[in-house]
Amino acid sequence: MRPLRRYHITTFGCQMNQADSEGMAGALEAMGLDRTDDPDQADLILYNTCSIRDHAEQKVYSYLGRQAQRKHREPHLTLVVAGCVAQQEGERLLRRVPELDLVMGPQHAHRLPDLLEQVFSGSQVVATEPVQILEDITKPRRRSAVVAWVNVIYGCNESCTYCVVPQVRGREQSRTPEAIRSEVISLAAAGYREVTLLGQNIDAYGRDLPGITPTGRHQYTFTDLLYFLHDVPGLERIRFATSHPRYFTRRLVQACAELPKVCEHFHIPFQSGDNDILKAMARGYTHQRYRQIIAMIREYMPDAAISGDAIVGFPGETEAQFQHTLELVTDLGFDQLNTAAYSPRPGTPAAVMDDQVEEAIKQDRLQRLNQLVSQTAAARSRRYLGRHEQVLVEEQNPKYPEQVLGRTRGNRLTFFPGVIGQLQGKLVTVRIDQANAFSLSGSLVAAVA
Ligand code: SAH
Ligand code: SF4
Ligand code: F3S
C-alpha cells in the first residue's frame, strides 16, 4: 500500500476545469488526504489540464517532466493527469510519460476514487471513453466560502472550427433542474451568497432534457432554470457563463432584468468582428446580430456590464478584417475582453486551413487589440467614479491585509478598507473613489445585509 497523506492539484483551465478540480479535491479529502500547495510535499499530484491553446498544453508537459523525475527517487508518488489534455492525448500520454498512474478525461472527474482504487491495485489506468456524467455525492472543496461555481450543462455540441472543446468535453449533458436546485439550496444553507452557473454554451441548457413541464410540450430552457432557482433562501446573487450569441434570447434578457438576484453582467464571446471570419469559424451569427444583442441588453439594462472573448489571427484573417474586430470593440465598449492569438489545435478544421497567419502578425494584432481593450475597459470603469455600488465581500486583499475585496453586480473587482472577520459574505455599499481599467477601490458607506 502506498502512503497517502497529502495531495496537490494544479488547475490549468477555465472555470469548468476549476469546478472539476474543486470536486476532485473534495473526493480526495473524503479519502482522508490533506491538501498541500507544494507539489514536492505531495504523495499524490493531480494536474487538471487545458488544451484550448498550445501554450496551456506545453506547460503541463514541463510540470509533469519534473514530477516524473521525482518518481524515480520516490516510487510511491502517484501521478494523475485529468482534464482536457488527458482526454485529447489518452494512451499517447502514457507512452510519452510512462511514470503516469492515471489519465482521466473531464467526464470521469466524478469517478476519481474508483479510478484510484484501480491504480492502487497495481494498474496504470486510462479513462477517456464517453460516459454519462452522474450526480456527484462527495462535497467539493471550494476555494471560496462566499461564491461558488455550479455546473449546469457539461460538454458542447457546437463545431467552431478552431476549438477542441467538443472533442475533449463530449456531447452536451444537462443536469436536471432539481439536482441543480438542491445543490444551490445546500450552498445557500452553508453560507454561500452567490452562485455562478456554468456551461460552455449555457444557452443550450435543457435541450437534451425530456420535455418536463406539465403539458410535456415545452422544452425546458436556461431562462426557466433562472426562475426556478431564484427564490432559494439565503442566495443573494446569480451569475452565469458562457452565453453563445447564436442562441441568445430576448426572454433571457427579460428574465435578467426582472429577477433581482440575477446580476447585470453578460459574458458573450464574439471571437471576431468580421463576417467572413465568423463564417469560417462556423459561429452562426454576423457582427450585426452581435451588435443587436448588446443593444437589446442595454435597452433593458442600460448599465449592464458586457464581456467577451476574441481571437486574432484566425487563418486567412487580413489586416482589414482585423480592423473590423477593433471597430466592434470601439463601438461596443467592453468592460472586459479575453483575447488570444489563434493557436492551431490537433483534430480541428482550422488547423489544416492553408492560409495560416504568421506568428509575428498574430502577436502584433494581439498587442494592438489588448491596448484598445485596456482603453475601453478604463473608460467603462470611470463611469463608476463617485457612485455607490453594491459589493459582495469575498475575502481579504492578499496584497494589502487592511483591505477586503469583492465584486460589484457588474463583476468589477472592488477593494476597500475593512476587516474581513466582520465583512465576509456581507452585501455592502461602497463609494467608488478610484477606477482602474479592471478594478475599483473606494470606501464603505453601509452594510446592507
Ligand atoms: N464556449 C465558449 C468559449 C470556450 S473556450 C464560446 O463559445 O465562446 C474559451 C475561449 O478560448 C474561446 O471563446 C476562444 O476565444 C478561445 N479559444 C478557443 N480555441 C482557441 C484557439 N484554437 N486559439 C485561440 N483561442 C481559442
Ligand atoms: Fe468551443 Fe464553440 Fe463550443 Fe465555445 S461554442 S466551446 S468556442 S466549440
Ligand atoms: Fe481548457 Fe478544457 Fe476549459 S480545453 S478552456 S479546460 S474546457
**Of 278, 212, 210, 206, residue with least CA distance to 249:** 206
Do 418 and 351 belong to one domain? no
Cα of 311 from ligand 1 centre, angstroms: 7
213 or 197, higher pLDDT: 197
Cα of 23 from ligand 1 centre, angstroms: 24
The Cα 318–Cα 311 span in angstroms is 13
Cα of 85 from ligand 3 centre, angstroms: 9
177-196 tens-digit pLDDT? 999 999 999 999 999 999 99
Task: For residue 15, name the pLDDT band (cuts at 50, 70, 90).
Answer: very high
Classify residue 139: in a domain, yes or no.
no
72-116 tens-digit pLDDT? 999 999 999 999 999 999 999 999 999 999 999 999 999 999 999
- Classify the C-alpha dihedral 351-353-354-358 as positive or negative: negative
The closest-lying atom of ligand 1 relative to the alpha carbon of residue 158 is: 7
Task: For residue 218, name the pLDDT band (cuts at 50, 70, 90).
Answer: confident
| Least distant ligand from the CA of 169 | 3
Instruction: Indicate the top mutation candidate among 15, 53, 162, 163 to test ligand 1's pocket, ranked by most ligand atoms within 8 A of CB.
Output: 163
41-76 tens-digit pLDDT? 999 999 999 999 999 999 999 999 999 999 999 999
CATH number of the domain within which 433 lies: 2.40.50.140
Structure letter (DSSP) for residue 271: B
Do 347 and 218 belong to one domain? yes
Q: How much is the CA Rg of the chain, to the nearest whole Å?
A: 22
The Cα 334–Cα 439 span in angstroms is 14
**Long-range contacts of residues 403-406, Cβ cutoff 8 Å, at least 24 apart:** 403/441
Ligand 3 neighbourhood includes 84 CB (under 6 angstroms): yes
Reading the block at residue 275, the C-alpha cell is 463576417
**Of 293, 225, 294, 235, residue with least CA distance to 260:** 235
* pLDDT for res 137: 74
> Residue 1 above 80 pLDDT?
no
Task: For residue 214, name the pLDDT band (cuts at 50, 70, 90).
Answer: low
Do 217 and 324 belong to one domain? yes
Reading the block at residue 335, the C-alpha cell is 468592460
The answer to whether the beta carbons of residues 366 and 313 sit under 8 Å apart is: yes
Do 379 and 390 belong to one domain? no
The Cα 400–Cα 385 span in angstroms is 22
Percentage of residues of the chain with pLDDT beyond 90 = 94
> Residue 212 above 70 pLDDT?
no
Least confident of 73-77, 133-137, 149-153: 133-137
Classify residue 254: in a domain, yes or no.
yes
Ligand 1 neighbourhood includes 201 CB (under 6 angstroms): yes
The Cα 334–Cα 307 span in angstroms is 6
Classify residue 189: in a domain, yes or no.
yes
The Cα 68–Cα 53 span in angstroms is 23
Do 191 and 335 belong to one domain? yes
**Of 241, 210, 181, residue with least CA distance to 18:** 241
Instruction: Indicate the top mutation candidate among 18, 247, 311, 362 to test ligand 1's pocket, ranked by most ligand atoms within 8 A of CB.
Output: 311
The closest-lying atom of ligand 3 relative to the alpha carbon of residue 12 is: 6
* pLDDT for res 39: 95
The Cα 86–Cα 103 span in angstroms is 6
In which element (H, E) is residue 7 found? strand 6-11
Ligand 3 neighbourhood includes 82 CB (under 6 angstroms): no
The Cα 149–Cα 441 span in angstroms is 25
* pLDDT for res 138: 81
| Least distant ligand from the CA of 268 | 1
| Ligand 2 shell residues, CB under 6 Å | 156, 158, 160, 163, 165-166, 200-201, 244
Which range of residues forms the domain containing residue 255? 147-383
Average predicted confidence (pLDDT) for the chain = 95
397-437 tens-digit pLDDT? 999 999 999 999 999 999 999 999 999 999 999 999 999 99
> Residue 299 above 70 pLDDT?
yes
187 or 216, higher pLDDT: 187
Q: Pick the residue whose CA is nearest to atom 5 on ligand 3.
A: 14
Do 83 and 230 belong to one domain? no
* pLDDT for res 303: 96
Q: Given 346, 366, 383, which residue is the final one in a domain? A: 383
> Residue 215 above 90 pLDDT?
no
**Between the CA of residue 326 and those of 248, 323, 334, 338, what are the distances in Å?**
23, 5, 11, 14
240-295 tens-digit pLDDT? 999 999 999 999 999 999 999 999 999 999 999 999 999 999 999 999 999 999 99
CATH number of the domain within which 257 lies: 3.80.30.20
Ligand 1 neighbourhood includes 149 CB (under 6 angstroms): no
Cα of 306 from ligand 3 centre, angstroms: 22
In which element (H, E) is residue 36 found? none
**Of 163, 172, 238, residue with least CA distance to 201:** 172
Q: Is 365 helix (H, G, I), strand (E, B) or coil?
A: helix
* pLDDT for res 122: 92
Q: In what order do the strands lie in the sheet with 194-198?
A: 147-151, 194-198, 237-241
Q: Given 62, 94, 127, which residue is the final one in a domain? A: 127
* pLDDT for res 135: 85
The closest-lying atom of ligand 2 relative to the alpha carbon of residue 166 is: 8
Mean pLDDT for the stretch of residues 371-379: 97
Do 330 and 219 belong to one domain? yes
> Residue 2 above 60 pLDDT?
yes
Q: In what order do the strands lie in the sheet with 336-341?
A: 265-267, 305-312, 336-341
Torsion angle of alpha carbons 339, 345, 351, 356, nearest 10°? 40
Classify residue 132: in a domain, yes or no.
no
The Cα 394–Cα 379 span in angstroms is 25
Q: Pick the residue whose CA is nearest to atom 13 on ligand 1.
A: 309
Ligand 3 neighbourhood includes 170 CB (under 6 angstroms): no
Reading the block at residue 68, the C-alpha cell is 516524473
> Residue 383 above 70 pLDDT?
yes
- Count other Cβ atoms within 10 Å, centred on residue 291: 15
Only one residue has cell 467614479, namely 385
| Least distant ligand from the CA of 154 | 3
Reading the block at residue 70, the C-alpha cell is 521525482
Cα of 242 from ligand 2 centre, angstroms: 10
340-372 tens-digit pLDDT? 999 999 999 999 999 999 999 999 999 999 999
- Count other Cβ atoms within 10 Å, centred on residue 191: 11
Do 26 and 91 belong to one domain? yes
* pLDDT for res 3: 74
CATH number of the domain within which 27 lies: 3.40.50.12160
Q: Pick the residue whose CA is nearest to atom 5 on ligand 2.
A: 158
What single-letter amino acid sits at 129? E
> Residue 449 above 80 pLDDT?
no
Split into its structural domains, the chain has a count of 3
Classify residue 169: in a domain, yes or no.
yes
